[in-house]
Amino acid sequence: MLGLQPYVLALLATTVTALPQRDDGLVACGEAFYYSDKVRRDALHAVQLKQMLISFVSQYTCYDGDFLCPVLNGVPTLRCGLDCYLPEKYSCGDDGKLVYPPSGSDSGSASTATVGATESGPATSSSTGTGSVCSETPTTLHLSDPPYENYFYSDCNGANQIVVTSPLSDSNLTIIGPRLLVAWPAGNSGTVAFFAPRNGVNGSLGIELVNGTSDQPLSPVYDSDTSNSTSGNPRVGVSALIRFNSSATLTVPILGSIRTIRDFTEGPSILIPEIQNATTLQVEDDGTATFSRLWLDNETTTIMSFGPAERSSGGLSIEDGLLSIEAGTYRFSASFDYPQLEQLSAVEVLNEESQGLITQNPDQTQSLSFLSYSQKLLAGAWRFLTYFGR
């Protein structure tokens, strides 16, 4: 559902009087002006006229004189009630509600509107099969703060943060346990898996990421085949090898928003039935155990999986509804088919006078880059994506 009317009305709700004529290429659509990749709204605040600007990375089509719908990859979306849609993904029912999958051929057609020339979006990687090759080197970062190991991996397709928690001999075992967490700035979402030792001895289970064929333990997940994606977006995420020093049980998986994960990990261990009951677990014929959950939007799906690694002993099974993991090394992956953000480089984040910090403090400027996107800036890592993703 791509309707932009709520953004215009909710973010810029004011009393609008006479709108001035424009001679700078802007086109009127109701109370909004638009061209190429910008929407401008003039509003009268008391006695002073102020202008507010929201930037979007699309051009638009104006419907019924007062409703904007975006042009996605050069294809105009159509209006259906208060929503915009692509006809290959949805159809518009007689009641003005979207229908999925589309029923027959959609009779709707885009209204004629004056729009600016199409502008090219940010450079994206080309897709080959289910993989994607980025032209630039991925951004990787490892920050060690035992018992927490923080990893960051981002490329042209998406950004990921991984936190591996493995208790130390002097750790407070009542609050620190083996845990594998993945956080995504896109969608303020993530996954987390809590583990317990099968021998029942608290503190005896240790987990760690291990390097595969390179000195970087993380590798990207990118699947451009959207035929099995309800959202129609590529599947993006991260993969790694994880080693268990003894047999374990995956006691609690959470595939949800960062706030949902945070309410459990740092709150009073709250589990939301609507989230947990929608999480499924199955073991495939190749021995891979897969957790999956369809989001409340009925479009996006998060997947977390553990599979046997080459030349590694161990095995996976389901016992009493929980995933049982023998000691050994496994291939872990977490991914979702949600629209991704456009990450800003350190050069783009810092002003001209501060460019020298990139070489003087590479880790700090790299961290700042990971938290900076054209759509929003983050004030902190996984625990704060929900509250400070603005």
pLDDT in tens, 367-387: 888 889 988 888 888 877 876
Annotate 198-232 with b (16+ C-beta within 10 A) or e (fewer).
Answer: beeeeeebbbebeebeeeebbbbbbbbeeeebbbe
What average pLDDT does range 129-153 have in this prediction? 82
**Residue that wins the pLDDT comparison between 23 and 239:** 239
Q: What is the mean pLDDT of residues 138-142?
A: 87
**Which has the closest alpha carbon to 77: 102, 97, 99, 60?**
60
Q: In the prediction, which pLDDT does 95 show?
A: 80
Confidence at residue 311, expressed as pLDDT on a 0 to 100 scale: 65
pLDDT band at 93 (very low <50, low <70, confident <90, very high): confident
Nearest to 64 by CA among 32, 91, 41: 32
Give residue 312's pLDDT.
65
Tokens coding 322: 């929980």
pLDDT-derived band at 98 (thresholds 50, 70, 90) equals: confident
Check whether 87 has a pLDDT greater than 90: no
Q: Among the listed ranges 63-72, 239-248, 321-330, which one has the minimum average pLDDT value?
A: 63-72
Q: Which is more confidently placed, 95 or 102?
A: 95
Confidence of residue 126 (pLDDT cuts 50, 70, 90): very low
Confidence of residue 83 (pLDDT cuts 50, 70, 90): confident
pLDDT classification of 44: cutoffs 50, 70, 90: very low
Q: Per-residue confidence at 241, pLDDT binned at 50, 70, 90? A: very high
Alpha carbons within 13 angstroms on the beta-carbon side of residue 179 total: 25
Range from 91-100, 300-309, 328-337 carrying the lowest mean pLDDT: 91-100
Confidence of residue 390 (pLDDT cuts 50, 70, 90): low
**Residue 71 or residue 367, greater confidence:** 367
Neighbours of 267 (CB within 10 A): 10
Q: Which two tokens stand for residue 34?
A: 């638009």
Q: Which residues pair with 132 in a beta bridge?
A: 127
Q: Say what the pLDDT of residue 363 is.
A: 82
Cβ of 282: how many Cβ atoms within 10 Å?
Answer: 10
- Compute the distance between CA of residue 344 and CA of residue 373 in angstroms, rounded to an integer: 5
Q: What is the pLDDT of residue 40?
A: 38
More confident residue, 98 or 327: 327
Q: Of 190 and 114, which is predicted with more confidence? A: 190
* Mean pLDDT, residues 142-163: 93
Pair of tokens at residue 131 = 């993989």
Q: What is the pLDDT of residue 189?
A: 95
The pLDDT value given to residue 110:
32
**Predicted local confidence at residue 41, as pLDDT:** 37
Q: Is 227 helix (H, G, I), strand (E, B) or coil?
A: coil
* pLDDT at residue 384, as a whole number: 78
Q: What is the pLDDT of residue 330?
A: 94
Residue 345 has pLDDT above 80, yes or no: yes
Q: What is the mean pLDDT of the chain?
A: 77
pLDDT at 125 over 90: no
Residues 6+ away with beta carbon under 8 Å from 81: 92, 96, 97, 98
Can you tell me the mean pLDDT for 299-309? 94
Which helix (DSSP H) or strand (DSSP E) does residue 129 occupy? none
